[in-house]
Amino acid sequence: MSDDLLNAQNDLARALVEARLLLPSGVPGLFGRGTVLEDVIERIDALVVRTAEGDGARAERWRFPPILPRALLEKSEYLSAMPQLAGSVHAFDGTVQDHQKLLARVHGGEDYGDLQKQTDVALVPAACYPVYPIVASDGPLREGGRLVDVFSYCFRHEPSPDPARLQSFRMHEYVRIAPDADDARAFRDGWIDRGLLLLRGLGLAAERAPANDPFFGRAGKLLAVNQRDQELKFELVCPITSAEKPTALASANYHQDHFGSLFGIKNADGTTAHTACVGFGVERVAIALFKTHGIDVAAWPVDVRARLWAP
């Protein structure tokens, strides 16, 4: 990382912490949200919901906890593509003697991971993952497809000094389970436009960019090329700590029949459903606002305040 970038990240992090917008935990990328930051996040989220509803589409509103079945993470192929970002949950399951050993390690400041076992759960990497098996279990896709609204904490193991790159953050997603490719792609494209309008309406210099997922290893390079060549996923980016490397605030993703095939989501005629999703990283949008308009919310442009605090 260049010194300039690191300094820009540290300057922003320091300002956010000093204003008690972020409450530091001592671990990079892990913060509490202060009163004012959380209020701004809630207003951003309400704007995302108003934008979705303005579209006239009625979504099923499901809420999932921040953990999901480990088997689902495995089935989704996330561990093939981005194993370094995934978190799995381990727990102690031993005897009183094992417990003594564990405590000795804790007190000695040693690793005790080998005294804990892999559980059946892992951390949610993206808010839409729990949706697909439930839709599949409902049987043939109803005519016209489905639209699901999800909002959950997601985990990415990427400790960073960048206050816009959190290990645990909330993603508000709309997931379209569509009968065919055209429908899914149109959903994604519509949200690219709608998302840009939403972000620019808040005074953010948002642009559309091809996705830039951090796929792992040599095979990952092919996945990245494929994702770009097929124009499957786009990000809505905005400069936060770097003008050259703007940060993704949202993404809109056409999955082809990837999840439809994996989970067996089929139309009544037996063809496989296509899916797409749009996700807003609400903490990132908030931090982009503080970076763009300043730390003092009361001094933000009148139209931005009006749009966020609309009744």
Closer of 26 and 54 to a second copy (Cβ): 26
User: What are the angstrom distances between the C-alpha of 255 and each of 55, 207, 234, 307?
Assistant: 22, 21, 12, 32
The residues, ordered by sequence, that sit 6+ positions from 310 with a Cβ below 8 Å of its Cβ are 47, 50
What is the rounded CA–CA span in Å between residue 291 and residue 249?
13
Residue 311 to residues 261, 269, 288: CA-CA distances in angstroms? 43, 45, 23
Question: What's the CA gap between 68 and 65, in Å, rounded?
Answer: 7
- Least Cβ distance, residue 213 to a second copy (angstroms): 16
For a second copy, the binding residues (CB under 8 A) are: 23, 25-27, 30, 32-35, 38, 60-69, 71-72, 74, 79-80, 83-93, 96, 99, 102-103, 106, 111-114, 116-121, 123, 130, 133-134, 153, 155, 157, 159, 166-169, 216-218
Of the pair 73, 278, the CB lying nearest a second copy is at: 73
Of 55 and 62, CB closest to a second copy: 62
Return the structure tokens found at 170: 């909330």
Closest approach, Cβ 33 to a second copy, in A, equals 4
Q: What are the CB-based long-range contacts (under 8 Å, 24+) for 218-226?
A: 219/80, 220/81, 220/82, 223/81
* Least gap, CB of 25 to a second copy (angstroms): 5
* Residue 198 near residue 71, CB atoms below 8 Å: no
DSSP state of 58: P
35: number of Cβ within 10 Å: 9
**Shortest gap between Cβ of 77 and a second copy (angstroms)?**
10
For a second copy, the closer of residues 27 and 243 by Cβ is 27
Nearest distance from C-beta of residue 131 to a second copy, angstroms: 8
Comparison of 166 and 237: residue with beta carbon closer to a second copy:
166
Closest contact distance (angstroms) between CB of 243 and a second copy is 29
50 or 208: CB nearest a second copy: 50
- Output the six-digit token pair for 305: 């305040």
